[in-house]
Amino acid sequence: MTGIWDWGYAVEVLPALLRGLQVTVLATLLGSVLAFALGLVLAIVLRARVPVLHRVVRAFVEFWRSTPLLVQAYVIYQVLPDVGITLGSLAAGVIALGLHYACYTSEVYRAGIEAVPVGQWEAAAALSLPRSRVWFGVILPQAVPRVLPALGNYVISMFKEVPLLLAIGLVEVVTVARQLSADSFRPVEPLTLAGLLFLLVSLPASILVRRMERRAGAG
């Protein structure tokens, strides 16, 4: 069979592509966890105006947001070993994604925190609640649900950026597709399937986020 699309070959390469997709999803999820946690810390430091520290954080966020993810991934993977920190592709990739997206999620959290009425801060102060309780008992439980859809959108765009990490040797789905194409001289099936797999994950995810948006808007 010599048409432009060979079903037999497509079926043959699918398992390898699916394994690649697993890595892509794993990198996305771990990167998201890091981005959500670190972004929250950055947002709190900025809002609480911790002396000195908040200037450092602001400078870091500006700098990190203005440089490409690819360069950051290279630095983490190839330059850090010079100072004695050697990371595998996945670990370096997750850290690169997490740091990069933390700069965006911190802005998302900031918007959510600012949307909490000032009266909530005042009521918490009037009850003498300790600072940690003001954040984790009063402000964040109101701020975070509102911004979940925005955070979800960043997860999806992070998912689509994982293939960049092939530059640091992460064997994710696009890397697998490229290798298969190179080995067989048949790029159509592996690359098409890789694209479809992305679609298969990000489309339902987008629908889910839109549904969350509607619910957040209604609530």
Partner 1 sequence: MPVEPMVVLDGVHKRYGDTAVLSGLDLRVERGEHVTLIGPSGSGKTTILRLLMGLEAVDAGTIHVGGRCLTHMRRRGAVVPADEKHARAVRRTIGMVFQQFNLFPNMTVLGNLIEAPVRVLGMSEAEATRRAAELLELVGLTDKTHERPTRLSGGQQQRVAIARALAMRPEVLLLDEVTSALDPELVAGVLRLLRLIGESSDITILCVTHEIGFARDFADRVLMFDGGSIVEDGPPERLLVEPRVPRTKEFLAAVLEGR
Q: Does 122 bind partner 1 (CB under 8 A)?
A: yes
Tokens 């959108």, located at residue: 153
DSSP 8-state code for residue 115: T
Give the interface segment with partner 1, choosing from 9-17, 103-111, 129-137, 191-199 (CB under 8 A): 129-137
12-17 long-range contacts, CB within 8 A, separation 24+: 13/177, 13/180, 13/189, 13/190, 13/193, 14/193, 16/176, 16/180, 17/173, 17/176, 17/177, 17/180, 17/190, 17/193, 17/194, 17/197
Shortest CA distance to 42 belongs to which of 94, 95, 109? 109
Q: Does 117 bind partner 1 (CB under 8 A)?
A: yes
Q: Cα Rg for the chain, rounded, in angstroms?
A: 21
Using the minimum distance from each CB to partner 1, give the nearer residue, 123 or 199.
123
Using the minimum distance from each CB to partner 1, give the nearer residue, 125 or 207.
125
**Least Å distance between CB 214 and partner 1?**
19
**Least Å distance between CB 68 and partner 1?**
39
Q: Does 80 bind partner 1 (CB under 8 A)?
A: no
Q: Does 218 bind partner 1 (CB under 8 A)?
A: no
Q: Does 169 bind partner 1 (CB under 8 A)?
A: no
Using the minimum distance from each CB to partner 1, give the nearer residue, 120 or 179.
120
**Least Å distance between CB 147 and partner 1?**
14
Shortest CA distance to 178 belongs to which of 170, 167, 168, 190? 190
Q: Would you call 131 helix, strand, or coil by DSSP?
A: helix
Give the interface segment with partner 1, choosing from 4-12, 27-35, 50-58, 128-136 (CB under 8 A): 128-136
Using the minimum distance from each CB to partner 1, give the nearer residue, 2 or 128.
128
The two three-digit tokens of residue 187, written as one number: 């790029």
Q: Does 217 bind partner 1 (CB under 8 A)?
A: no
Give me the residues that bind partner 1 (CB under 8 A), please.
117, 119-120, 122-131, 133, 137-138, 141-142
